[in-house]
Amino acid sequence: MFSFRSALGGATLIAMALFATPAKADLKLCNNTESRVGVALGYSDKKGWATEGWWNIAPNSCETLLKGALIARYYYVYAVDYDKGGSWGGKAVLCIRDKEFTIRGNMKCKERDYQKAGFREVDTGEKIDWTISLSGEKTTPAEPQ
């Protein structure tokens, strides 16, 4: 037996399914400073270690670094302040270069004509979505003017 109430309920479920927005799962970085920054990212995936750069992020804005569900618990970030000098980093040494790059492997950086940089470890707690906030003190202060 067909009833108006069941037809309306079914139509509501169909409409909800059609207009449901999937949850975004990305790795984002928010530059909460007054400077333009360049960001490099390191991570380990099924192929081993990789570093990528540079994302140029405007002051007080956010950028998606990796789209989709996160594949690792730990990511590594190195950032450079283009306007005031200095950088944010840490103890994890990975390879970088001055221009846009994707580098596989974290060994023998100099022998492969790359530079080394100290990256800061970010523990995402195995979440599928994470936002890194860049602000505060740099690990390498700007040189006096």
Which domains can be identified in the chain, with CATH numbers?
23-134 (2.60.40)
Looking at the predicted structure, is the pLDDT value of residue 11 above 50? no
Report yes or no: 96 and 77 within 8 Å, Cβ to Cβ: no
User: What average pLDDT does this structure show over 93-97?
Assistant: 96
User: What average pLDDT does this structure show over 39-66?
Assistant: 95
**What is the Cα–Cα distance from 42 to 72, expressed in whole angstroms?**
11
Looking at the predicted structure, is the pLDDT value of residue 14 above 80? no
Scan for tokens 């960001």, then name that residue: 39
Name the token pair of 109. 């950086």
pLDDT digits over 17-36, tens only? 334 444 568 999 999 999 99
Q: Whole-number mean pLDDT of the chain?
A: 83
User: What average pLDDT does this structure show over 53-78?
Assistant: 94
pLDDT at residue 18, rounded to an integer: 39
Question: Hey, what's the torsion of the CAs at 5, 6, 8, 11, to 10 degrees?
Answer: 180
> Strands 74-81 and 115-123, how do they pair?
antiparallel
